Amino acid sequence: MLAVLVCTSAATTSVGSRIAICLDNQKHLTRAWLEYAEDHGGVLPGNLDGVTGAAQQGQTWCVGWLDNTRYTPDNTNTLFLANSQLGKYARGTEIYKCPADVSLNAGKKGVPRVRSVSMNSYMGERAGSYTPGYRQFKTLAQITDPGPSKAFVFIDEREESICDGWFAISMEGFDPRLPEQVALVDFPADWHDQAGVLSFGDGHAELWRWRDSRTTPAHRLGVALSLGIHMPNNPDIARLQEAASSRTR
């Protein structure tokens, strides 16, 4: 049996309140992430891409494949959150969702979906890094460049971009700096007046204002968003790269 979470409408809370709730949710989720690592000898939760079912719940921080264009049970299945690695450390499944996310389980209709947050693709146990030659942080001790206060863990992802729990970031063009080569793979959310919330390895959370309009295209409920877009000289991508990983030496 699927568990369904019905969230309060974004229209019932103020912009400031939604930001405060979103920041608090990500702080609590990151605390769960840290507690998991503390209980497992410093080893971070898994962060697998493409996982869709209960068979992988013990291997990664969350499972389920969200879809913005049609109904899928994963859109409303809170058990996929509660029974994955962070479930027993989280205070509840509501912290996986930004209150400003208005996406619905059947595209343009239905009840709200249950997750808006994804994890930095360079954080957590997985086979290797998205961009070869960059650090995949698998333990707390390895988070040194960037350090815990600068390395982001969770990010709210746009409703047309989010699917699994893994937020892909291409490090192409980062080191050495070649701004003309950068691309945005997954898109961050911009529900807070062209800004989104990220949490960091020391447990704090921040609101980041996006500066480039290419990072925040118009929202279209029920319509897929093209991902992996080449965006030369996008400062938002450079900022995400700096907080995601560093080149292995």
pLDDT of residue 168: 98
Residue 146 lies in a domain: yes
Query: Which residue shows structure tokens 């995949």?
Result: 136
| Domain annotation covers residue 1 | no
pLDDT, tens digit, for every residue of 84-105? 999 999 989 999 999 999 999 9
Asked whether the bond before 176 is cis by omega within 30 degrees of 0, the reply is yes
Structural domain boundaries, residue 203: 14-244
**72 domain residue, yes or no:** yes
The rounded distance, in Å, linking the Cα atoms of 98 and 21 is 8
pLDDT of residue 91: 84
Which amino acid type is present at position 147?
Answer: G
Q: Is 4 domain-assigned?
A: no
Residue 5 lies in a domain: no
In angstroms, the Cα distances linking 60 to 17, 46, 47, 80, 123 are: 31, 4, 5, 11, 11
Q: Tell me the C-alpha distance between 233 and 220, whole Å.
A: 25
* Whole-prediction pTM: 0.93
Is 99 within 8 Å of 22 (Cβ atoms)?
Answer: yes
DSSP string, 68-116: SSS--GGGG-THHHHTSTTTTTSS-GGGGS-TT---BTTBSSSSBPS--
In a domain, 96, yes or no: yes
pLDDT (0 to 100) of residue 198: 98
pLDDT at 6: 35
Task: Give the pLDDT confidence score for residue 108 in this predicted structure.
Answer: 87
The conformational region for residue 110 under phi > 0 = left, psi -120 to 50 = alpha, else beta, is left
The total of structural domains in the chain comes to: 1
Domain annotation covers residue 249: no
Residue 27 inside a domain? The answer is: yes
DSSP bridge partners of 209: 195
The predicted structure's pLDDT at residue 13: 65
For residues 92 and 115, give the distance between their C-alpha atoms in angstroms, rounded to a whole number.
12
pLDDT in tens, the chain (249 residues): 334 333 444 444 688 899 999 999 999 999 999 999 999 999 999 999 998 889 999 999 999 999 999 999 999 999 999 999 999 999 899 999 999 999 999 988 999 999 999 999 999 999 899 999 999 999 999 999 999 999 999 999 999 999 999 999 999 999 999 999 999 999 999 999 999 999 999 999 999 999 999 999 999 888 889 999 999 999 999 999 999 999 998
Dihedral (CA of 60, 204, 36, 93) sign? negative
Please state, in angstroms and rounded to a whole number, the distance separating the CA atoms of residues 213 and 221. 19
CA-wise closest residue to 120 among 47, 50, 45: 47
Strands of the chain (E only): list them: 117-120, 152-156, 166-167, 183-184, 195-200, 205-209, 229-230
Whole-angstrom distance, CA of residue 7 vs CA of residue 28? 18
Nearest alpha carbon to residue 139 among 45, 20, 59, 58: 45
Encode pLDDT of 66-77 as tens digits: 999 999 999 999
